Amino acid sequence: MALDPVTLAVIQNGLRQIASEMDLVHEKTSFSPVISEAFDRSNGIYHRDTGEVIAQGEMGLPIFVGVMQFTTQAVIERRHDLEPGDVIIVNDPYLGGTHLMDVKMVKPFYYRDRLWCYLSNTGHWPDTGGMVPGGFATKATEIQQEGLRIPPVKLVRRGEMVSDIVDMILTNIRVPEERIGDIKAQVGALTVGERRLTTLLDRYGADTVEAAIGELKARSEQQMRAYIESVPDGTYSFSSFIDSDGIVNQPLEIALDMTVRGSDIDFDFSRSSPPCKGPLNGVWGATQSAVYVAIKHIFPDVPINSGCFAPLHIAKPVGTFLVGEYPRPVAGCASEVAQRIMEAVFGAMGEAIPDRMFASPAGTSGNFSMGGHDPGENREYIMYFFSGGGYGGWWETDGLTNGCSTVGISKTQPVEILEQHYPLVFEEYALRAGSSGAGRHRGGYGVSYRVRLLRGTATASFLMDHGRDGPPGLKGGLPGATNELVVCQAGKTTVPEHISKGEGYELAPGDWVQVRTPGGGGYGDARLRDTALVRRDVERGYITAAEAEHLYPLASAAD
């Protein structure tokens, strides 16, 4: 079917708008601040036969682009009894998922009594049970210790919530009254998607919309291939490192050999470290999705659908920690391991096209969970918090300060909202001066914050990264500052043994946690930085005059 450009563009934007409206409903009706304020969620439309992504909301987390596709495929493969009105719930990391806290729902969409596609979404629940509040158990050695693992089961059957499944879930997690709100928000977002997609199909016809989907997929692939062809053929290698797995205090290596062949790229991670004891194993779905998102960062113009990933070929690195299999713990697979994978892709591409690339970003979500009892409200609570960091400098200008994690378009929750919800106060939330990697174009700055418990008791856990080495620079730029974490209990300050990871810190009123996130890597020789820019950074308090003289000697001498 021949489609005119106007109709094609309208349908493309219509599909994207449907997914974006699902995102908005999901956000506005969720109870958890991590979803309603931080946007840790995603909604999309997926093919009825292949499960491939057709469209995703513009504000959905990018890491879920591939992950939700793989989850939808797992549901298609395992559930042959789906009917109109059904909704499947699943969080199994080994079935195309991430960590247990990312709970997926998949709904078959029927148009005129015919299965037309699947509507799927993900929301990060602040807790799914497990050893520690929030699920980021850095000492876990098996998946059962991380929380409740849900296979693909019917949460909604023919439009009616299955109370037995709901009761089973809520009985096994903390703060159930909050989770039921999140459950209903996800189901509601899928219902809105169903209505809006029906309207689109009624207006343009199912055949026309299907033809448009096929054409959009082909065009995305064509555009991605054109970008890849601009990269010189060859094999480019790069390694990034995770601080530790939380159990064995040794770095884990992600070793990438990236081969560009015409309009195709092969990604080989087979030289990476073997499976680890702690929760820093990746899962195959998240590993693949991390590569997809990294390439989208490099070539952002390509519209999101399965076509843009067709030229990317990822060999499954069996025998490495990037393919965690049951019962390996995987809590850090999406928020931390995925970002190190992306860093390896950025580094390899920096070898290939340095004049069109950027230095490495902060590359950690800074996962911080704190849960306990609030006597003032006489209730249990769990706070899950993540923070921004610096992005790398690039060929045109300095890196972004306090940017979100590279796996998401999420934002830090407003501290005022968190202080209303939980018995704590943020005594500091500021730009972290001096944290950027020096370069002709410096990296962005990280942030520094301190949280003090006001009343009751709490248990704090941390799953972060880049505590050993800062984000690397490019073309002679220096690395950004490392992640720093300090805990104060009864007036005594300590640093976790594993630098960026730790759990089970019992806090009493007056105790506090201080986190300083990494800055981005620098781009280019710092000796070539514009003198006026160095002077500006000193005047704004980003760096001291002494630091400027040390990092940018030629610029300082010019003054």
Give the pLDDT of residue 557: 53
Give the whole-angstrom CA distance, residue 15 versus residue 366: 33
Beta carbons within 10 angstroms of residue 5's beta carbon: 7
Q: Is 385 in a helix, a strand, or coil?
A: strand
Mean pLDDT over residues 260-280, rounded? Answer: 98
Closest CA to 67 of 465, 411, 315, 408: 408
Residue 215 has pLDDT above 80, yes or no: yes
CA separation, residue 114 to residues 41, 83, 84, 194, 230 (Å): 28, 10, 9, 13, 43
> Residue 409: pLDDT band by 50, 70, 90 thresholds?
confident
Residue 372 has pLDDT above 80, yes or no: yes
> Residue 66: pLDDT band by 50, 70, 90 thresholds?
confident
Q: What percent of the chain has pLDDT over 70?
A: 99
Give the whole-angstrom CA distance, residue 328 versus residue 330: 6
- Can you give the pTM of this predicted structure? 0.96
Give the pLDDT of residue 559: 54
pLDDT digits (tens, 9 = 90+) for 520-539: 999 999 999 999 999 999 99
> Residue 558: pLDDT band by 50, 70, 90 thresholds?
low
CA separation, residue 329 to residues 151, 249, 342 (Å): 16, 16, 21
Burial label, 4 (beta-carbon count in 10 A; 0-12, 13-18, 19+): exposed
> Which residues, other chains included, contact 357 with Cβ-Cβ below 8 Å and sequence gap of 6+?
298, 346, 349, 350, 394, 395, 474
Check residues 317 and 59 and name the one with the higher pLDDT: 317
Mean pLDDT over residues 47-51, rounded? Answer: 97
Catalogue the E-assigned strands of 57-197: 87-90, 102-111, 114-124, 153-157, 160-161
Q: What percent of the chain has pLDDT over 90?
A: 95
Mean pLDDT over residues 428-453, rounded? Answer: 98
Give the pLDDT of residue 36: 93
Question: CB–CB of 97/152 below 8 Å?
Answer: no
What is the chain's mean pLDDT, rounded? 96
Amino acid at 263: S
Radius of gyration of the chain (CA): 23
Give the pLDDT of residue 555: 61
Question: CB–CB of 405/38 below 8 Å?
Answer: no
Give the pLDDT of residue 411: 81
pLDDT digits (tens, 9 = 90+) for 147-188: 999 999 999 999 999 999 999 999 999 999 999 999 999 999
Residue 115 has pLDDT above 80, yes or no: yes
Strands 512-516 and 447-453: antiparallel
> Residue 554: pLDDT band by 50, 70, 90 thresholds?
low
